[in-house]
Structures are given as structure tokens and as C-alpha cells.
Structure 1
Amino acid sequence: MSFYDRTKGTHWPMNDQPGTTGTISPQDDSSTSIFDATRFKIIAIGVIAALAGLMSGLDIGVVAGALDLFGKEYHASTIALEWVVSSMMAGAAAGALSAGWMSKTLGRKHSLIVGGAIFVVGTIGCAMSWSVASMISFRVVMGVAVGISAFTAPLYLSEIASEESRGAMVSTYQLMVTVGIFIAFLSDTYFSYSGNWRWMFGVAGIPAILFLIGVLFLPYSPRWLMAQGRHKEARQILLDLRDDPLTAAKEIRAIREQLETKQEGFKLFRTNPNFRRSVALGVMLQMMQQLAGINIVMYYAPNILAAAHFDAQSQMWCTAIIGLVNMLATFVAVGLVDRWGRKPILYAGFTVMALGMGVLAMLLQTGMTTQSSQIAAVFLLMIFCAGFAMSAGPLMWVLCSEIQPLGGRDFGIAISTFTNWMTNLLVGVSFLTLMQTLGTAGTFWLFAGLNALFLLLTFLFVPETRGMSLAVIEKRLMAGVKLRKLGR
């Protein structure tokens, strides 16, 4: 550790705690240039890692515009189209399960590299598909990459970030997902005039290649390095990423204490009821995120707008506008998550989503025959997306990265991420059938009711973790404190 002379703002080295390696060098942390350089470094790392979210967003959004064009060319049935959409989620579920072992064994950085390489293969394959079966197969490949990234990127960002910026850093991943969706919608709109669905898929290969290059320059996760016994490297990385060497030293000690608890995964799940509580909470949070209904808009926005009697080009442009709102609203979450806290934002988001879905269902029951009702429908979809993007979209990933104890961290996050994609698959594979069975209005009434239910579940079970260290959250969980009281 070090001695901090507050009169001079200087850190002087002292002998470190037993069992550590190296010392902290004298450093004048009052320098604005050093502070700015550190902040720039953190932002650059966050953006590069979060590019995994951009690629996921592109893969999620592209199918909205390409689906009908592809279906007409290959005469695909409704069920086949549902599986073209949902096959990606099946792959993502498999990717999420493998990502736990991969991130532990290969490390967070190398797992991101593997995910990026699979993105490139899947993207090129989808663009070159020659049948429904080949498209479904390559969508599965793309899904594997999405699942690996959805697990690894938030985990990596939470371990790179400081306690004060953790919420915003992890939210950056979801922000990039929304950026990717918006870019995909714009690309779909541009290529819809020529009907070229192959280029709709192909453009996603560009950021995949950039991501592969960028991730090579990322530092390793200090927590993973410590777990591998590479203490000196972890110390140096933290010194580079923190403004205050005392903060870095404190974090190193906290990580070392946590690492005394070995990763036991399934064994801990079988034997420890408190760990089962955190896993169950992670599962519930991810189900809430997906059953809120966001992906029925992301995957099927043109179909929804067709039910509101929009013509083909209007469907595409309105879908792009919805994607823009989805992206911009995510900035709200990134800016407020570490100021307002998690629960107030979730309350606001689920309220907005329940109202948006409910009023849209009422409009759809009227038949949507007037221009004013059509404009209102687009506005309500934008309101719904804004509510999701500022709340459940990024915050569920933040919370899931915070609530799992170190001893079962990889296992717990893998299970919650797997749940996310399986629930996503369920929504994607059933939505067109639901609309045919319940009617468009009835389907939206269903999702309005679910969002109202999620308000209650947030109150009963979700903790407020703003500004709390992962160590404190874990200590309270293992002491048997009620889930909603784990935080502040």
C-alpha cells in the first residue's frame, strides 16, 4: 500500500501487504493531464469492448427489414420465418452457456476475440445464404457470437470499471446494442428500395472486423489476472486505469480477498440456498427484460406497422425512427444509472412500457383507419422503446453483473444470460402466431399486462445497488439478507 500526503497530493511507496508483489511508485495525481489521460483510456476501452454490443444490435435489427424480402424469394412459411428470426436466439443461448467456461479459461479478452471471429463467419454466411435451411444455420452461428459477447462484454466492463462508474460502463454495452439496431434499420431502409436483403446482412461484417482489431489492444481484466496468479500484471493495469494509486491498492486487496473463495459454480448452486437466490433473481431479471416486449418491436416492427395499414416504405422509415428513439433513450440510462439508482429508473421504465402497450392495444382495436391513429401508433411504439431503452434494456445487465457472488459469478451470469436468450427465442418464435391467434390488439394487451406485473416484481425483489461495492453486496447476500434489501 502507499502513504498519501494530502498537503502535496503525492503517494509515497510503503511495503505492501503480505502475499503481494511489487510496490506503488511515487506519483503526483494532481496533474490534470494524467487525470484526462486515465479517463480517455477508460472511455476508449469501454467503447471498444462495447462494440460487441454494436454487432449484436446489427444482428438483432437486420432481420426486421430482410425477413419479408428473404421470405418472398424462398417462399418461406410463417413458421419458417419465425425460425429465421429465432434461430439466432437458440445460438445465443448455446453461446451464453459456453461463455462461462470460456471467459474463465481463456479470459475475458480472448473470449471477446473468439466472439468477434464467429461474428464475421456468421455475417458472411447469412449474406450468402442459398436456402431457408442455410439462413437458419448461419443465424445460429451469429447467435453463438451474440451469446458469447452478451455474457463476456458486460462482465469485462464491470471488472474494468471503478465502483463509481460501473453502472454507466456496463450500460454502454446496451447503448451500443441500440446503436447497432438503429444502424441496421437505416441500412434496411436504404437497401429496401432495391430489395437487396444480402447487403442488409453483409454490412454487419464491417464493425465485426473493426472489433476484432480493436479488442487486440484491450487490457486483460485485472480480476481474471489475479485469479490466474498474475498479480503484477493486474496491479499495473489497475494503476493505469485508476486516478488514485490508493484506490488501485484498495481494489487489489478487495479482489484478492474475494478470490480466496474459489469458483464452484454448480456445486455452490446445489449446496448454498443464498446463491440459489441470486441465480433466481438473475433469471427473473432477464425474463422481465425479454417479456417486456422490446424484441417484438425490434424483430417485427414492419409487421406491426403493416397491421396499422402503413405502406411498405413507410414501414421501413418508421422502423428506423423507432430505432433512433431506442438509441437516444439509452443515453438517459447511461447518464442516470449511477445518479438516480437502479430501482427508480426501472419503476419509470415499466410504467411507460405498460401504458404504451396498453394505449396501442386500444388503438389497434379501433382498426387504425385514420392517419392520426397511424401517427399515434408510431408515437406509442417510440414511447415504449424509450421506456425500455432507459430502464430494463441496460439495467438488467448491470444488476446481473452485480448480484452474483464471486464463488459462483461465472455460473450465475451464464445462467441468467442463457435465460435471456431462451426467453428471447420464445418471444421471437411465437409472436406471429400470437398475432394470428389473439389478434394484434390482444397480443399487445398481453404485453401491457406483463409490464404492469414487472412493476410489482421490481418492488418485491430487486435491490438498489447504486454505489455499492461487489464485495458488500456479496456479503449481504450470503448473510441471508432479503434480496430487495441487498443494496441501499
Structure 2
Amino acid sequence: MATVITEERSNGTLSLEKSDLNKNVFIACIIAALAGLLFGLDIGVISGALPFIAKEFGLATHTQEWVVSSMMFGAAFGAIGSGPLSNKFGRKYSLVVASILFTVGSLGCALANNTEILIIFRIFLGLAVGVASFTAPLYLSEIAPQKLRGSLISMYQLMITIGIVVAFLSDTAFSYEGQWRWMLGVITVPALILLIGVLMLPRSPRWLALKGRHTEAKEVLELLRGSDETAKHELDAIRESLKVKQSGWSLFKTNRNCRRAVYLGVTLQVMQQFTGMNVIMYYAPKIFKIAGFASTEQQMWGTVIVGLVNVFATFIAIGLVDKLGRKPILKLGFLVMSASMATLGFLLNQGVTTSFEQYFAAFVLLIFIVGFAMSAGPLIWVLCSEIQPLKARDFGITVSTATNWIANMIVGATFLTFLQVLGNAQTFWLYAVLNIIFLFVTLILIPETKGISLEKIEQNLMAGIPLSKLGKK
């Protein structure tokens, strides 16, 4: 039977045939996860476009860094503002705002006739990414059936890595003619698709219940779950959970244990960004050039391979996180990343001259990508969502998300300067040392939360148990 999707004017929800329930829930989640694809596109697209932008506008090193990092500057503000925006207008219309910002930002970047205009519209894109990075996973968690929640939220993370690959492929296709405006402007197409798709999405039943619109919340749940009894049971559970009022800021000010959780979330996000992963995402062609790949074609296809490895290695984390646990995978990941950066620094210090040395340097770079994608990439987000106390959950996640983008901005705004001031080899050695530090932080501070309920983690936190023991049964 064909899927039936029509819009209810009264409450802005979808009218879904019950016989197509699973398909319709999946379609709604796919549309929301498109925000992740756009997230990835915006991360990846600047990598290929930057060399051509720098040449056309005659950009100095510092200005190139600001072209890259201006998006993260906007994303930090977008992440901070997305909580109030999502609470007031709902998850659906927050995604509408994000899709409009994606569209305006990508068009503005493509049409920019000077660096200042380009940076302004990169900030618009950053605002979109910040709102989407907060709202899309939240919406997915609230609309998905409990048994599918983890896999559908993981799908959002996977869409980010796919978006990066698509951006690298698009950049490569346009690089032959040096068409950087098309590289940046092509994002408009998925942004418009997201805008149209989001307008057809149902409201979040949890948000409707939060606003006291219980009848509408029950109608949405009935349509998505296909059962009055299931809808009633889930709505009762939502009402019960909403009795726990969010008081994050006041709890943060008055409760030492709440502050410990927030600071741990901040630490985790700083660790993730200063591994050096986004240096590779933003400056991959530059890094391949340093490694001895002289032609633009070699640099761009090397970038595509980086993106593909990132996608496939993410499946390692998805498959092992609930079997081996968070901490062992993080330890292995930081060790692999440190060894890779140290080896790459050694190769650059010795001088990459032969074809074997060039390809070995590229291989080491890909091993680094595997180390990140299987560990710090997805698992930092998992831990940040697990360690926050329920009453301060929204506040804690907002702070850690904003930290992610601020740290991301710092990384993007310093890499080329490090290369100039420290030198190529020394810059990669710096990241190797940072990853060793993060390995020791993981050993000493980070808890193992595998198989532990959120309630038990919170109980341990509020009892003053050391952070490394929060997963104690």
C-alpha cells in the first residue's frame, strides 16, 4: 500500500496511515536526519573550496583561517540559542529556521564578491549548523519508538559523515574548473529539500505535552505508534518525566556535583576537538600537499578517501560501543591518533621525497581518521549525554555543545599559523602530545558507563563518587 502523507492544518502534524506506521516514522526521521547531512556538507565543503578562494581573493594565512573558523563562531551562538528557540517554538520550527539559514548562508557564500561578505554568510551557515546540531537529535529522540531510538539517532551521526564525503566528492568534481562558488552553492539544493520536508513533519509529542497540548500530543502518538493503548502509555510516561523541571543554571550555581558533570562535558568536548581531526577535515588538500602530493587532482581525491574512511570507521564504534564499552575504545583511539600524528611528524621532519614515503604518509593519515571515527568522534557525544543529571540535562548538553564549537573554532583558526610558526613536523607533534595527554585524562577521569542506567549514573554523581567511578553499579 502506498504511503499516505497529508498535512493537518489544525496542528501542523502529518496524517499517516496506520498500516504504513513503520515506514512513516522512518520517513519522518530521514527528513530530520537530513539536517545531519547538511551539517556534514558544511564541514566538508570548505576544504576543497579554500585553495581557490585564497587564490581569487589573495588571502593571507590568517584570513584563510577566519574564512574556515567563522562557521564555527556562528555555530557556537546557534547552539547556545537553540535551547530557548526549541523550547518556545518547538523542534519542528527550529528545524525550519535552520533550513532557511542553510539556504540563505549557502547562496550568500556562493555569490560573495569579497572576503567580508563570505565570512558573514559563513556565520549564517554556522548558526544553521548550531541549531541543527542541537535540535535534530533532540527531535529524533522524541519522535522515534523506544526500540528504534538508538539506531535512529546513530543514523543522524552517520549522515554527518556521509555529508562530509558528499562535500568532498562535490568539491573534487568542481575542482577541475576551479568553480569554488558551485562548491559552496550546491548546498542550497539539500537545504531546500530539508525545508520542504520539515514543513511536513509532525510536531514532537513531548514538546506538545510540555506546552500542555495533551490532546494533540496523543493524536500524534496514535498516528506514529498505530495504537491508542501504546499512545496513552507513552503519553503518561512523558507526563511523568515532565514533572522533573529543568533547573540547570540554578542547580549549576548551587550544586558542586552538577558542576562536576558540566565541567566533565566541557573537558570531553575540548578533548574531541584538539585531537586534530577537524584540522584534517578543513585543511585536507593542504595536508596532502605538505605530504608531497603536488597536483590538485591528487589532493582532492585524497580528501575523498579521507571522508570515505571516516564513514566506514564510524561503523566500528556503532558495533562495539555497547560490547566493549566507552573507555577501552577511547583509550585505543587516543593511542592510535597520537602514534599516527607522531609518525606523520617524523616523516615530514625527515622529508617526504619518494612515492613510497608520500603514500605511507597518506596511509598514516588514514589510520588517524580510523582512530578518531571509532572513538572520540561518536563516543564523546554518547558520554556527554549520559553524565548530566536529569534536572540539568538541557543546560549541561547546551554548554558542552557550545564548547565543542568554540574549541572547533580555535582549532580552525590556528592550524595554518602553527604551520608557519612551529613548522610542519612540529605542528603534528603538538597534536601527538595532546592525544597522549587525552589518553591519560581518559585513564584518570573518564567513567565507563556501559550497561549503567542514567538514573544510577546520576545517583553516583550526586553522591559525590569520583567522576571515573560514575559507572559503578
Return the offset for 1:137: 0.6
Higher mean alpha-carbon deviation, 233-242 vs 92-101, is at 233-242
1:448 partnered with 2:448: no
In 2, Cα distance between the equivalents of 1:344 and 1:480? 24
1:73 partnered with 2:61: no
Correspondences of 1:146-295 after superposition (within 5 Å): 146-161=129-144, 165-238=148-221, 252-295=235-278
Cα deviation per residue 1:68-96 (whole Å; 9 max; x = unaligned)?
11111111111111100011111011111
Q: Which of the numbers 45, 65, 68 marks the counterpart of 1:82?
A: 65
Higher mean alpha-carbon deviation, 141-150 vs 270-279, is at 270-279
In 1, Cα distance between the equivalents of 2:447 and 2:59? 45
In 2, Cα distance between the equivalents of 1:238 and 1:438? 57
Q: Percent identity?
A: 56
In 2, Cα distance between the equivalents of 1:41 and 1:457? 44
- Structure 1 pair 470/167, CA: closer, same or farther in 2 (3 Å)? same
Return the offset for 1:304: 0.9
Return the offset for 1:233: 3.9
Cα deviation per residue 1:144-176 (whole Å; 9 max; x = unaligned)?
101111111222233344666544333322211
In 1, Cα distance between the equivalents of 2:66 and 2:371? 28
Return the offset for 1:467: 4.8
- Structure 1 pair 44/420, CA: closer, same or farther in 2 (3 Å)? same
Partner of 1:307: 290
Return the offset for 1:394: 1.8
Partner of 2:441: 457
Partner of 1:386: 370
Cα deviation per residue 1:402-429 (whole Å; 9 max; x = unaligned)?
3323322222111111100100010000
- Structure 1 pair 405/238, CA: closer, same or farther in 2 (3 Å)? farther
Return the offset for 1:433: 0.5
In 1, Cα distance between the equivalents of 2:385 and 2:378? 11
- Structure 1 pair 478/343, CA: closer, same or farther in 2 (3 Å)? same
In 2, Cα distance between the equivalents of 1:459 and 1:223? 38
Q: Which of the numbers 428, 437, 441 marks the counterpart of 2:421?
A: 437
Return the offset for 1:241: 5.5
Would the aligned equivalents of 1:167 and 1:334 in 2 still touch at CA under 8 Å? Answer: no
Letter in 1 for 2:303: T
Q: Which of the numbers 56, 77, 97 marks the counterpart of 2:39?
A: 56
Partner of 1:361: 345
In 1, Cα distance between the equivalents of 2:143 and 2:447? 23
In 1, Cα distance between the equivalents of 2:109 and 2:362? 30
Return the offset for 1:368: 0.7
Aligned residues: 455
In 1, Cα distance between the equivalents of 2:261 and 2:145? 22
Cα deviation per residue 1:445-471 (whole Å; 9 max; x = unaligned)?
111122222222223333334455544
- Structure 1 pair 340/168, CA: closer, same or farther in 2 (3 Å)? farther
Higher mean alpha-carbon deviation, 113-122 vs 267-276, is at 267-276
1:142 partnered with 2:111: no
Would the aligned equivalents of 1:477 and 1:483 in 2 still touch at CA under 8 Å? Answer: yes
Return the offset for 1:258: 3.2
Higher mean alpha-carbon deviation, 271-280 vs 95-104, is at 271-280
- Structure 1 pair 244/326, CA: closer, same or farther in 2 (3 Å)? farther
- Structure 1 pair 237/476, CA: closer, same or farther in 2 (3 Å)? farther
Letter in 1 for 2:41: L
Letter in 1 for 2:110: A
Partner of 2:11: none
TM value normalised by structure 1: 0.86
Would the aligned equivalents of 2:284 and 2:303 in 1 still touch at CA under 8 Å? Answer: yes
- Structure 1 pair 446/244, CA: closer, same or farther in 2 (3 Å)? farther
Q: Which of the numbers 371, 376, 396 marks the counterpart of 2:355?
A: 371
Return the offset for 1:128: 0.3
Would the aligned equivalents of 2:208 and 2:216 in 1 still touch at CA under 8 Å? Answer: yes
Q: Unaligned 5+ residue runs, structure 2?
A: 1-16
Higher mean alpha-carbon deviation, 422-431 vs 336-345, is at 336-345
Letter in 1 for 2:411: V
State the SS of the aligned residue for 1:337. Answer: helix
Return the offset for 1:359: 1.5
Q: Which of the numbers 95, 106, 121 marks the counterpart of 2:78?
A: 95
Return the offset for 1:114: 0.8
Would the aligned equivalents of 2:326 and 2:449 in 1 still touch at CA under 8 Å? Answer: yes
Letter in 2 for 1:68: P
Letter in 1 for 2:245: K
In 1, Cα distance between the equivalents of 2:277 and 2:367? 11
State the SS of the aligned residue for 1:262. Answer: coil
Return the offset for 1:366: 1.3
Letter in 2 for 1:134: I
In 2, Cα distance between the equivalents of 1:477 and 1:341? 19
In 2, Cα distance between the equivalents of 1:412 and 1:128? 38
- Structure 1 pair 339/231, CA: closer, same or farther in 2 (3 Å)? farther
1:332 partnered with 2:328: no
State the SS of the aligned residue for 2:434. Answer: helix
In 2, Cα distance between the equivalents of 1:137 and 1:478? 43
Q: Which of the numbers 384, 396, 403 marks the counterpart of 1:412?
A: 396
- Structure 1 pair 469/242, CA: closer, same or farther in 2 (3 Å)? farther
In 1, Cα distance between the equivalents of 2:336 and 2:224? 37
In 2, Cα distance between the equivalents of 1:283 and 1:345? 20
In 2, Cα distance between the equivalents of 1:203 and 1:429? 25
